[in-house]
Structure formats: structure tokens, C-alpha cells
Chains A and B, each alone.
Chain A
Amino acid sequence: MTIADSIALILLLAGCAFYLAGTIGLLRFPDVYCRLHALAKADNTGLCLICVGLAILSADWQVAAILALVWLVGLLAATVSAHLIARHAHSAGRVPARSGPSRR
């Protein structure tokens, strides 16, 4: 296993950790806004790390360009989707949870 491979592996595992964090946030956070916050950021960081790891692994500029495009479009989609869902929740009269251990 070369050095590049081990760096890629570390990045991939770090990406998985961010995905795990996103899922835990989705399951444990108290209200819809917090959950959005957890998902939209953690998952896209995870996607970024996985893309970088895979780009190093493939060692090919063309592949790296596609991966970068996937990540950028993913960011855009997540931003817009999160915004739209939050807007819908807000217009439905959801009040953001205050601090306190009110979990469901």
C-alpha cells in the first residue's frame, strides 16, 4: 500500500465519519431545523472528503474533474433543498426548539 493509498483511505474513512455524524444528527436532534442543519453540512463535508479520497485513489485528472463537479452540484442541490424544506416548515408554523432536552 503506497502513501497515496493510505492518505486516500484516511480521507474516505473521515468522510464516513461525517456521514455517521449526519445520520446521528438526523435521528437525535430535537427539531426539523436542527436536523436540516446537521444533514446539509455534515453530509456534504462527507461527500467532499470521499470525493477527494477517490480522486487521489484514481490518480486521474478526468475522474477528479467529474468528482469535483458531482460535489459542487451536490452542494447546490443540498443548499436549495434545505432552504426549501426549512421554508416549508416555517410557513407551516414550526417554531424552532429552544435549548433543553426535549427530544423525541
Chain B
Amino acid sequence: MIDIALPAIVLFLIINLIAGMLRVYRGPTLADRMLAALLFSTTTVAALLVLAEWMQLPSLRNVALLIVMLASILSLAFVGLPAGREEAADEQ
């Protein structure tokens, strides 16, 4: 039972992730698109943790820890983009 449930949960999380991609397309602002990236890192972390349990690969937990530890770097780089002219920068 658990052996079926764990991969099903990973599958569900990845579908979640793909659904979140819609926000990258719709925008409308850069911040909206960036938000989607935030969703991806939390979801990937959960998926890796479940995979670690299912595949019995304890090192995957360290990979998950790395991703959450470094997730804020992208946001820190993002805030450097000049504010106020984002529509011009992205609407084409």
C-alpha cells in the first residue's frame, strides 16, 4: 500500500509543479513569474524527500536540504532587477 502511495504522491507533486508553470506564462509581472519558481523549489524538495523514502536512498534528503538552503539565492538575485519597468521588459 505504502509502496504504491509514495510514487503516487511524487507523481501528484510533479503534476502540481507543471500546473504551476501556467503562472510563468500568464504573468503578468516578473514577480508573478518569480513566485512560480518559489513553488517549484518547495515542491521539488517534497518530491525528493518522498523519493528518498520510497527508493531507500538517504542521500536524497541531503539533496533536498541543499535545495531549500540555496532557494533564497535566486530571490536575492531577482530583487536586483530594476523595479517599475518590468512590463516593458517582459511584454513582447
A contact residues vs B (CB 8 Å cutoff): 1, 5, 8-9, 12-13, 15-16, 19-20, 22-23, 26-27, 32, 35-36, 39-40, 43-44, 46-47, 50-51, 54, 57-58, 63, 66-67, 69-70, 73-74, 76-78, 80-82, 84-89, 91-94, 104
Contact = CB atoms under 8 A, between A and B. Distances in A.
A32 B31 contact: yes
19 contacts: A5-B2, A13-B5, A16-B9, A20-B12, A27-B22, A40-B38, A47-B46, A50-B46, A54-B53, A58-B53, A63-B58, A66-B61, A66-B62, A67-B49, A74-B42, A77-B41, A81-B38, A87-B79, A92-B86
Contacts of B53: 54, 57-58
